[in-house]
Amino acid sequence: MVRSPNSPSLYKQLSKVINHYWRQITILITVIILLSFFFPQGKTLLYSYQLNDVAQEEVVAPFNFPILKTSDQLQLDLEEALNSEPFLFLRSQDVVSKQIEVIDDYFKHINLIQLANIKLADSKDDLYRNRFTEQFDLARINVQSDSAALEVLMETVEENYNFAFNDEKWNQIFLSDYSNNSILDLDNLKKEIIQISRNRWAEGIYDIPISEILSKQVAIIMSSSEPAELTEAIRYNDIQDAWTKARMEVTNRFPNNINFSRDLGYSLIVEFMKPNLIYDRETTERRQQARQDRVPRNKGIILKNERILDANTRVTEDDLQKLFSLSVAIDNKAMQESSTDILLAYVGRILVIGIIVSFFFTFLLTYRKPIFDDWRMVLLIGLIFSIEVGLAFLIKQNLELSEYLIPIIVAAMVLTIMFDARIAFMGITSIILLVTILIGNNV
């Protein structure tokens, strides 16, 4: 056969097509590559079954692989490991000693304020008596000095003991005579408050809420030279329980309702009784993580050539977990393959997607050429394909929702409204094929 000298060569024909449709070709290649990222790798879809499905064929283990625990079972084991690790606390005697010193300092400060009030009252009386004498200026200076000293003490109360500042009952104590115990015996109150606090410290007070302690037992370190002591967590109190017990003890020690020692004493306990069981969060969390790391993720092993699932039988939950474990093992093994095998698998996935997508766009090029000639329309259709497959991946693979939520009908409606029914039919057919491959046996 002799070729006509005027007929263009195949190379020139391809060059002409590429030059004319380079935008459309670029869009199609981009869409195919984008869609390839939504599809699973390896042979996992071969073993995609639902509960009570009927197996289509026998499944035999191609190699040895472990049976993974279900997510719920693994979570229970991890929580059990977490709860079995005792929370570690350090019993701090320094806290007890420091708070007792703070209580002593507070009562000393009360005595200083009482003395300062008495001294200021005496200075004012002296100023009144000497208002017409030569000692008036000296008396006025003494009043100013005593008033400034009292102001400094009250500022210290506001800064360090804010709970007592502007409190009517404490102001009454500040203005009373320190030697007069008719209103309140401060020495006795201090002893009682220290004793009540010591009782709670002896029981032990957590510095975290007891509801946050997950373990049934806690480890208490008494000193650096002794090993931790394991006891029941409910044996000790958190700060709320300690306040409640202290309130009851204050009521028993000060039963007189007229005497306001109860209210003042309880306010002091709330302010100064600090937790003496200090939570070692860093060590506890490190030990919890180590214990969780030792929890086995597997519950058995399947040997090579062992039957996993027989043909024409219903799939049980145990079968599903074995198939899922096989899929994970296949994926892990695929990651260990050579770069050539990985590349070939990816190229195969590209070819499958490309063939399905080409069904529709070949139809456009043959029967709806004006639409294919407009690259904007091709871009719009490519976006519809990408969005539909992306939503299918999100709904089924990520969110694990029902496949009935995939908006297939929306894509058909959009294609029908914007083009015509034939284009919508061909387009939705290609989309359904892509989604079917994505979902596997779940359709």
- pLDDT digits (tens), the chain, 443 positions: 445 555 567 777 778 778 888 898 899 999 999 998 887 665 555 566 777 777 778 888 888 889 888 888 899 999 999 889 999 999 999 999 999 999 999 888 888 888 888 888 888 888 788 777 777 778 788 888 888 888 888 888 778 787 777 777 777 777 766 656 556 778 888 899 999 999 999 999 999 999 999 988 999 998 877 888 899 999 999 999 999 999 999 888 887 655 667 888 888 898 899 999 999 999 999 999 999 999 998 888 989 888 888 888 888 888 888 888 888 888 777 777 667 777 777 888 889 899 999 989 999 888 988 998 899 999 999 999 999 999 988 888 778 787 888 888 888 999 999 898 999 999 999 999 998 888 765 54
CA distance 349 to 331: 15
One domain, residues 201 and 291: yes
The 3-state DSSP class for residue 42 equals coil
**What single DSSP character describes residue 169?**
H
One domain, residues 211 and 75: yes
CA distance 324 to 326: 5
One domain, residues 239 and 194: yes
Residue 310 located in a structural domain: no
Residue 313 located in a structural domain: no
One domain, residues 191 and 178: no
> What is the residue type of 436?
T
Find out whether 199 and 249 touch, Cβ atoms under 8 Å: yes
One domain, residues 248 and 382: no
Tell me the sheet residues that pair with 218. Answer: 87, 231
Q: Which of 183, 198, 217 is the last residue of a domain?
A: 183
Tallying the residues shown for the chain, one arrives at: 443
pTM of structure: 0.63
One domain, residues 430 and 349: yes
State the pairing for strand pair 87-91/65-68: unpaired
Burial class (CB in 10 A: 0-12, 13-18, 19+), 245: middle
Find out whether 62 and 308 touch, Cβ atoms under 8 Å: no
Residue 331 located in a structural domain: no
- Count of structural domains within the chain: 3
Q: Which of 183, 206, 224 is the last residue of a domain?
A: 183
CA distance 121 to 113: 12
DSSP assignment of 259-280? STHHHHHHHHHHHH----EEE-
One domain, residues 179 and 190: no
One domain, residues 277 and 172: no
One domain, residues 176 and 196: no
One domain, residues 86 and 227: yes
Query: Taking the alpha carbons of 69, 74, 80, 86 in that order, is the dihedral positive or negative?
Result: positive
> What is the residue type of 440?
G
Instruction: Name, in order, each residue with C-beta under 8 angstroms of 330's C-beta and a sequence gap of 6 or more.
Output: 42, 43, 44
**What single DSSP character describes residue 178?**
T
One domain, residues 255 and 216: yes
Q: Which domain holds residue 206?
A: 70-92+186-295
State the pairing for strand pair 87-91/217-221: parallel
Instruction: Name, in order, each residue with C-beta under 8 angstroms of 395's C-beta and a sequence gap of 6 or more.
Output: 401, 402, 403, 405, 406
Q: Which of 295, 315, 347 is the last residue of a domain?
A: 295
- Looking at residue 1, what is its pLDDT? 43
One domain, residues 221 and 240: yes
